[in-house]
Amino acid sequence: MDPQRRQGPSVPERKGQKRKLDEETVIGDEQQQMQQREISSSSAGTSSSDARQALLSEVSAQVNVLNTTFSWLEADRAAAKRATHVLAELAKNEEVVNWIVEGGAVPALVKHLQAPPTSEADRNLKPFEHEVEKGSAFALGLLAVKPEHQQLIVDNGALSHLVNLLKRHMDSNCSRAVNSVIRRAADAITNLAHENSSIKTRVRMEGGIPPLVELLEFTDTKVQRAAAGALRTLAFKNDENKNQIVECNALPTLILMLRSEDSAIHYEAVGVIGNLVHSSPNIKKEVLAAGALQPVIGLLSSCCSESQREAALLLGQFAATDSDCKVHIVQRGAVRPLIEMLQSPDVQLREMSAFALGRLAQVITVSVLPAILIFIIINECQLEVLAFVLSEMVLLFCR
């Protein structure tokens, strides 16, 4: 889901990000797949009240499994894993999320965000280790897509468990299962905190920011992206969170991520930095001092249009009040790719480039200005883009 949306070409605005939990096969065996088909087919062709009752019965059955299988017994772990997966599959349909919550799934899923108590007999035998917790985090992340359920999940104690899951690699050998549970925990935090200022603060108070910053250096790129996505959301319009992210020394790693060849990595990184510097002049100075300017300019030529948009918006923010920074942006080659972006079929990309060029107009030389205007006219850019660039330039040159 795209986190940056604007009201018009002259007023770019950053927004928080809600991660779209990527699709993956969570039903691992034929029996579970058959069970899901039976649930779907039983709802088809029935009245809405009958379908609701059938789904509530299914949810109730899975919740009962979760409430009675909190142990390391292999049969219990296998049953709990299946139950979390069935609930996650159902929760992919937003139309039935309310029914899943109504059926009592939240406290049952939260309970399984932690490992069962370990006895001496269990110590060396941990079937489906990390798998049940991963399934629970995934399901809760899907339920949290609906804002009305965010607080309920937090009030049931999910955040402390999710933060602990972010640290699973510290107590276990790195494996696909460990990586997956960490990623699902970060994704769940992203959805829980989306446009919810109190939950963003709670994540910080629960100690969630330091492990997320540490995960920016994780070897698994999917974990890196999930951690960056969570930090991006937590940084949006929350000064205390911004300060802690910077204090945890996130900037060097984020700037390194800007240079990644993986477009998903540099897209997340530029988004985090953008939310950090938004309305925070002191952090903007730290970001520039840490060397972010050149890699951000480099993203203007990225094959990823989302990264290009983010980079153009960020350059406009860098250039907002600092004339020296404007000079550096122009000298380091930002103008030409910004001009080229004006011919993009992506309306928002054109708007962002026009915004950045308008901010830079004060230091663009007279020899460059005609080239910009000719380019706009020849390529038949939208009138609103032309009008915006011209108005920005006229205003700045008349000052």
Rounded mean pLDDT, 159-180: 92
Greater pLDDT, 374 or 234: 234
Confidence of residue 132 (pLDDT cuts 50, 70, 90): very high
Confidence of residue 118 (pLDDT cuts 50, 70, 90): confident
Q: Is the pLDDT of residue 234 over 90?
A: yes
Greater pLDDT, 273 or 385: 273
| Residue 183 near residue 226, CB atoms below 8 Å | yes
Number of H helices, E strands in the chain: 24, 0
* Residue 8 pLDDT: 37
Greater pLDDT, 60 or 34: 60
| Three state DSSP letters for 237-278 | CCHHHHHHHHHCCCHHHHHHHHCCCCHHHHHHHHHHHHHHHC
Compute the distance between CA of residue 58 and CA of residue 39 in angstroms, rounded to an integer. 8
Greater pLDDT, 346 or 9: 346
Query: Can you read off the two tokens belonging to residue 9?
Result: 């070409």
Give backbone dihedrals phi and psi of 14, rounded to 5 degrees, phi first. -90, 145
- The residue extents of the domains of the chain are 30-246+323-397
Compute the distance between CA of residue 182 and CA of residue 163 in angstroms, rounded to an integer. 9
> For the domain 30-246+323-397, what is the CATH superfamily, name and number?
Leucine-rich Repeat Variant (1.25.10.10)
Q: Is the pLDDT of residue 17 over 50?
A: yes
CA nearest to 378, candidates 342, 334, 346: 342
Confidence of residue 399 (pLDDT cuts 50, 70, 90): low
Other C-beta atoms lying within 10 Å of the C-beta of residue 99: 19
Give backbone dihedrals phi and psi of 384, rounded to 5 degrees, phi first. -65, -35
Mean pLDDT score of the chain, rounded to an integer?
Answer: 85
pLDDT digits (tens, 9 = 90+) for 62-109: 999 999 999 999 999 999 999 999 999 999 999 999 999 999 999 999
Q: Is the pLDDT of residue 4 over 60?
A: no
Task: Please tell me the number of Cα atoms within 13 Å of 367 on its side-chain side.
Answer: 0
* Residue 375 pLDDT: 57
* Residue 359 pLDDT: 87
Side chain identity at residue 344, one-letter code: S
Confidence of residue 307 (pLDDT cuts 50, 70, 90): very high
Compute the distance between CA of residue 314 and CA of residue 300 in angstroms, rounded to an integer. 11
Compute the distance between CA of residue 340 and CA of residue 350 in angstroms, rounded to an integer. 9
Contacts of 399 (CB under 8 A, 6+ apart): 362
Confidence of residue 381 (pLDDT cuts 50, 70, 90): low
* Residue 171 pLDDT: 80
Contacts of 200 (CB under 8 A, 6+ apart): 193, 233, 234, 236, 238, 241
Rounded mean pLDDT, 252-281: 97
* Residue 38 pLDDT: 52
| Residue 209 near residue 248, CB atoms below 8 Å | yes
